[in-house]
């Protein structure tokens, strides 16, 4: 699908043309996550303010993304440390292996 392809989906109470991300199924799942978050925020609020709810959802998703990126960076760091240990172990094995005999 071209990056310009869009589908009409309801976000909150508004039908909007939404760009297709990866495929239509993924796009629908993303919109469902947004709608679920909006409903959660609406349920926790004592007033009705659609714009405020949308902004709160945007901040919540941005915070989720920030946390995911931080976790990903930490996991990458752990993987690099483990790979370094493996390389050092292999060097040790290589350096201390008996010489091959012919």
Report whether 18 contacts 9 (CB < 8 A).
Answer: yes
Q: What is the pLDDT of residues 44-75, one digit of tens each?
A: 988 888 889 999 999 999 999 999 999 999 99
Q: What is the pLDDT of residues 23-49, one digit of tens each?
A: 999 999 999 999 999 999 999 988 888
Give one DSSP letter per residue of 44-99, joined into a string. Answer: H-SS--HHHHHHHHHHHHHHHHHHHHHHHHHHHHHHHHHHHHHHHHHHHHHHHSPP
Band of pLDDT at residue 98, cut at 50, 70 and 90: confident
Tell me the pTM. Answer: 0.67
Cβ neighbours of 56 (radius 10 Å): 18
């Amino acid at each position: 699908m071209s990056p310009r392809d869009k589908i009409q989906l309801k976000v909150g109470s508004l039908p909007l043309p939404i760009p297709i991300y990866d495929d239509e199924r993924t796009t629908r799942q993303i919109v469902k996550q947004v709608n679920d978050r909006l409903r959660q925020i609406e349920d926790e609020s004592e007033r009705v303010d659609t714009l405020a709810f949308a902004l709160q959802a945007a901040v919540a998703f941005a915070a989720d993304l920030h946390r995911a990126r931080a976790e990903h960076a930490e996991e990458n760091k752990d993987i690099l440390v483990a790979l370094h240990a493996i390389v050092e172990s292999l060097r040790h094995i290589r350096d201390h292996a008996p010489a091959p005999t012919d």
